[in-house]
Amino acid sequence: MLKDRVGIVFGVANKRSIAWNIAQAWHHAGAKLAFTYQGERLRENVEQLSASLGAASPVFSCDVTRDEDIQAVFDQAAAHFGKIHLVLHSVAFAPREALGGRFIETSREAFRIAMDVSAYSLLGIARAAAPLMPEGGSILTLSYYGAEKVVPHYNVMGVAKAALEANVRYLAHDLGPQGVRVNAISAGPVNTLAARGIGDFGDMLKYHAEHAPLKRNVLGKELGDTGVYLASDMSSGVTGEVIYVDCGYNIMGM
Ligand code: NAD
Ligand code: 0WE
């Protein structure tokens, strides 16, 4: 379904990463991929995972808070592939002390960092990607229910995800005339590196599974499948949208 499409994947840290689930699904659907990693610490992980696809995917360093890093990724992608069609943005960060305690205590600096890494970065990436998408394309990001409703302790990340979801709509408006679609998957909780940094995540997974209509948590494979749908022509009429892939949790009132 993605034959002859080229995609750039931001946000693989390890094999549990949501980005890795979606990248594998894109690969199996026939896309050619490049990966970026944040910092030397993650280089080897990402190189090994990329190599495991057996497709000689290039791997680039990128801290999304640095405009010059983002530009360098797309310069290298242009040199390697010419055109691209797909971008996956699966990146978020807030200082740990801001994820817990009272939201009202969030510092200006923690707010700035959460917004920069988790929301602004989509815009920076979209701006650098768009000139390489003359055939149109699909930009995909990851959100969470805390954007819309209060999830205790998600705090400033909820505010950043609300900004991210608004970014999706404004970018969809700007890039629509060029045939570039922009959408988000709002994923139910998944046990990744970013999630395990959070105390009581096990309890949260259990609560979520008990209260979701499907009575279980979402699988990485299911996020990958929706990722293929949003990347492919199957979703050609869909842009600016936030699609919940959360076993139905978000529809509940009680
Ligand atoms: P993860 O830790 O595997 O991925 C987060 C990625 O963000 C890592 O690869 C990390 O290197 C990258 N990152 C952080 N700061 C960066 C920076 N300055 N520059 C470049 N990269 C940076 O965890 P994940 O759960 O797969 O998270 C991926 C996305 O999914 C995030 O946007 C997260 O908010 C979202 N999400 C996660 C869950 C969940 O429960 N795990 C649920 C819904 C949405
Ligand atoms: O988006 C996220 C988590 C993103 C995240 C995780 C960390 C952990 C380590 C952002 N920044 C950091 N900073 C760190 O220092 N999720 C959707 C997973 C998540 O995190 C929560 C959740 C859920 C769900 C935090 C509190 C409550 C619920």
β-pair type (86-89, 59-61): unpaired
Sequential pLDDT tens for the chain (254 residues): 999 999 999 999 999 999 999 999 999 999 999 999 999 999 999 999 999 998 889 999 999 999 999 999 999 999 999 999 999 999 999 999 999 999 999 999 999 999 999 999 999 999 999 999 999 999 999 999 999 999 999 999 999 999 999 999 999 999 999 999 999 999 999 999 989 878 789 999 999 999 999 999 999 999 999 999 999 999 999 999 999 999 999 999 99
HEC-encoded secondary structure of 89-116:
ECCCCCCHHHCCCCHHHCCHHHHHHHHH
- 18 C-beta neighbours (distance < 10 Å), count: 24
Please, which residues bridge with residue 42 across strands? none
Q: Given ligand 1 and candidates 38, 87, 204, which is best to mutate, with the most ligand atoms within 8 Å of its CB? A: 38
In the chain, what are the domains? 6-248 (3.40.50.720)
Whole-model pTM?
0.98
Residue ranges around ligand 2 (CB below 6 Å): 92-94, 96, 99, 144, 151, 153-154, 157, 189, 194-195, 197-198, 204
CA of 58 to the centre of ligand 1 (A): 20
Q: In this structure, what DSSP letter does residue 15 have?
A: T
Q: How far apart are CA 154 and CA 183, in angstroms?
A: 22
Do the Cβ atoms of 140 and 185 come closer than 8 Å? yes
Question: Which amino acid would we find at residue 3?
Answer: K
Q: What is the DSSP string of 146-167?
A: GGTS--TTTHHHHHHHHHHHHH
Nearest CA to ligand 2 atom 26: 154
37 among known catalytic residues: no
Which ligand 2 atom sits nearest the alpha carbon of residue 187? 17
Q: Is 202 helix (H, G, I), strand (E, B) or coil?
A: helix
Per-residue burial over 190-200, b if 16 or more Cβ lie within 10 Å, else e, is bebebeeebee
Query: What is the number of other CB atoms lying within 10 angstroms of the CB of residue 219?
Result: 14
What secondary structure letter does DSSP report for 38?
S
Cβ neighbours, 10 Å, residue 221? 10
Count each helix (H run) and each strand (E run) in the chain, helices first.
9, 7
